[in-house]
Amino acid sequence: EVCTCILTHTQATCHPKSHIVFLKTHKTASSTILNILYRYGESRNLTFALPLNKQSQLFYPFFFVPHFVEGVSSRSVKEFHIMCNHMRFKKSEVAKVMPQDTFYFSILRHPVAMMESIFSYYKSIPAFRKTFSLEDFLDNSWRNYSASVANNHYAHNILAFDFGFKNNIAVGTGDFEERTTVAIQTIEQDFNLILISEYFDESMVLLKYSLCWSLEDMVSFRLNSRSEQTRHSLSPNTAEKIKMWNALDWRIYLHFNTTFWHKVDSLVGRQKMEREVAQLRKLQVKLANTCLTDRGAVDPSLVKDARLKPFQYGTAVIQGYNLNPNLDIQTKTKCQRLILPELQYTHHLYTKQFPKEAAKPFL
């Protein structure tokens, strides 16, 4: 894989990859990446490993098994190209569905920013429900945190959980170091690339090189972003408490933040990276000027077309976009796909791939 990617440096004959697994982690900009994969696959008639029965997730938080994918049990699909919906990762099971030469990648976000986002989005889970604030949770409520209660996994080392590891471990306990090492080594083995949400544009350029795609394939608008009014700034003291509480995630993040920059150096180079990030941003500004009326995201109450409204959850206010009404049909379709929220786009692809199943009443 590395060899073909190096060839892309010189614009030589690398072959675009189309067998891809993206582990969609939570609150890491993963919906923006999902949208990139959906558009790439749809425009090339690739087949997605979509969740069974019109679900939007691969039966998360259960560990992945092949029959979660529509078309596996019925054997109606011969070859899957892209798997990218939320799942709890288990490599041995995913590998039963996907071709051998599949490229595996995922994305991590700084655990402090991530927990701030998660607290607002998953405020209704038992661990957070009765707490006044994230600070209140970190100071007091975590003492009553029960790992066995459904959905509480969102509150503790959620990155590790999504990658398939046990998430309930405290720093300083007997096997913390060993389990951290095993988690990091296993992710290194199972994944070809780990991206970092804080360097989203750099991540997209790195992904472009790794997949041998074009810069045009990497353009996106920020999806699933919260409006300013539901963001909370955290003190340095709170940030330290989050790093302690989510020590496993913090260690995983630190490790892959380092390897990310090693990959940048070996696959792209810093100067070229800077140039390509600037090009990518230019392309995105141009696209925003063409596609959008408001130039950027707006609060959901201001999204005029109900079909383009993102799903709302918890105390978060998730923003969406308004489409420029003066577009020719072709441009309109292209722009619409760029801002189509995850649930709507998943349903659209499901209907295309499985028209008969899509017509059946929802069970």
Ligand X SMILES: Nc1ncnc2c1ncn2[C@@H]1O[C@H](COP(=O)(O)OS(=O)(=O)O)[C@@H](OP(=O)(O)O)[C@H]1O
Q: Which residues bind ligand X (CB under 6 A)?
A: 26-32, 117, 197, 200, 222-226
**Residue closer to ligand X, measured from CB, 284 or 353:** 284
Cα 148 from Cα 144, distance rounded (Å)? 12
**Residue closer to ligand X, measured from CB, 18 or 225:** 225
- Residue 211 CB, nearest approach to ligand X (Å): 17
**Residue closer to ligand X, measured from CB, 32 or 336:** 32
Residue 195 DSSP code:
E
In whole angstroms, how large is the CA radius of gyration of the chain?
Answer: 20
- Residue 117 CB, nearest approach to ligand X (Å): 3
**Residue closer to ligand X, measured from CB, 225 or 353:** 225
- Residue 29 CB, nearest approach to ligand X (Å): 3
CB atoms near residue 291 (< 10 Å) = 22
**Residue closer to ligand X, measured from CB, 8 or 120:** 120
**Residue closer to ligand X, measured from CB, 86 or 243:** 86
- Residue 106 CB, nearest approach to ligand X (Å): 11
- Residue 330 CB, nearest approach to ligand X (Å): 25
- Residue 113 CB, nearest approach to ligand X (Å): 6
Element at 239 (helix H, strand E): helix 236-245
- Residue 167 CB, nearest approach to ligand X (Å): 16
**Residue closer to ligand X, measured from CB, 113 or 184:** 113
**Nearest Cα residue to 38 out of 22, 58, 60:** 22
Cα 98 from Cα 279, distance rounded (Å)? 33
Beta bridge partners of 278: none
**Quick one: CA dihedral 254, 256, 257, 263, positive or negative?**
positive
Q: Helices 236-245 and 111-121, interaxial angle, to 10°?
A: 90
Beta strands 82-83 and 193-196, pairing class = unpaired
**Residue closer to ligand X, measured from CB, 29 or 98:** 29
- Residue 70 CB, nearest approach to ligand X (Å): 20
**Residue closer to ligand X, measured from CB, 179 or 348:** 348
Q: Degrees (nearest 5) of the Cα angle 329, 331, 334?
A: 110
Chain centroid, CA 353 distance in Å: 22
CA distances from 196 to 25, 259, 361 (A): 11, 10, 40
- Residue 227 CB, nearest approach to ligand X (Å): 8
With helix as H, strand as E and coil as C, how does 296-361 read?
CCECHHHCCCHHHCCCCCCCCCECECCECCCCCHHHHHHHHHHHCCHHHHHHHHHHHHCHHHHHCC
Cα 214 from Cα 212, distance rounded (Å)? 7
**Residue closer to ligand X, measured from CB, 157 or 197:** 197
- Residue 361 CB, nearest approach to ligand X (Å): 27
Q: Helices 176-190 and 247-263, interaxial angle, to 10°?
A: 40
